[in-house]
Structure 1
Amino acid sequence: MLTPVDDGPAIVACNTCRHSTTDREDDHGTRGGAQLVAALRDVRESDARYAGIAVQEMPCLFACADFCTVHLRAPGKVGYVLGRFAADREAATAILDYAVHYAGSDHGRVPFKQWPQGVKGHFITRTPPPGFVAE
């Protein structure tokens, strides 16, 4: 089943992700993905720079080995799946900082010098937008 959402720049976070390869839930029974979604929403609401980036969630992005995964997407832009994040405010801030540069780019490519340190090493895959392939 699909649920319609705004098709603008968005971070789609897996809300069922594990905390790590060994831990599914924390001591309170909360999954890492749910905590990362909460952190993303909290950080987004705390800073007007992030107003143009939607935070959306869905169960399982099928990247379980890479836990705490997000899919960054926008119309006409290359999309990215990133993972292996801690489910915390620091990771959420890095993801949103990158998303701002991504949303402002022409085709979804952000120069490496603009990447926040917190996203380096977290890219899993990139996906072309419908009707295109990347050069």
Structure 2
Amino acid sequence: MLRALEESGAGTTQVVVCSTCRHTAEAREDGEGLRGGARLAAALREVKAAEEAFAGVEVQDMPCLFACKRFCTIHIRAPGKVGYVLGDFSADAEAARAILTYAAAHAESEEGVVRYAHWPDGVKGHFITRTPPEGYLCT
């Protein structure tokens, strides 16, 4: 059920996309039969490939992050840093750029905490939860 990640991504900030998320609250798939999560994962990879600023962020996908009421859900994480689950995104390049911009700031931060003043508008209002790194609690 679990699969080990390749060592190349170890230590980097990762955006894990729920590949089976709904397209919208009303529709599981878009007009071409693709799930919103799969569409968002593709948009994240396209934006990442086009912009050098996102080189330090890995995009990964897995089926179901169990946040089904919050479609197009992602998890931003890195070893030893606070992680975040965000949802309710559109599956497009604009959302992907906002997610990757936040993830790049997360990668540059010491503990995974990004000051609100540095959040891109596209992630504001999308946070669901934060997760402390193993062995730590947020204060």
Give the TM-score normalised by the residue count of structure 1: 0.98
- CA deviations over 1:10-38 (Å, ceiling 9, x no partner): 00000000011111001111000000000
Partner of 1:78: 82
- Could you say what secondary structure the match of 1:33 adopts? helix
Q: Quick one: which of 113, 117, 122 aligns to 2:117?
A: 113
Partner of 1:40: 44
Matched ranges for 1:1-135 at <5 A: 1-5=1-5, 6-7=9-10, 8-135=12-139
Distance 2:35 2:23 in 1: 6
Distance 1:125 1:86 in 2: 19
* Paired letter, 1:58: M
Give unmatched runs, 5+ long, in structure 2.
Answer: none
- Could you say what secondary structure the match of 1:75 adopts? coil
CA RMSD of aligned residues (A): 0.6
Distance 1:71 1:90 in 2: 18
- Could you say what secondary structure the match of 2:45 adopts? helix
Deviation at 1:106, TM superposition (A): 0.9
Deviation at 1:96, TM superposition (A): 0.2
Deviation at 1:128, TM superposition (A): 0.5
Deviation at 1:130, TM superposition (A): 0.5
Could you tell which deviates more after superposition, 116-125 or 13-22? 13-22
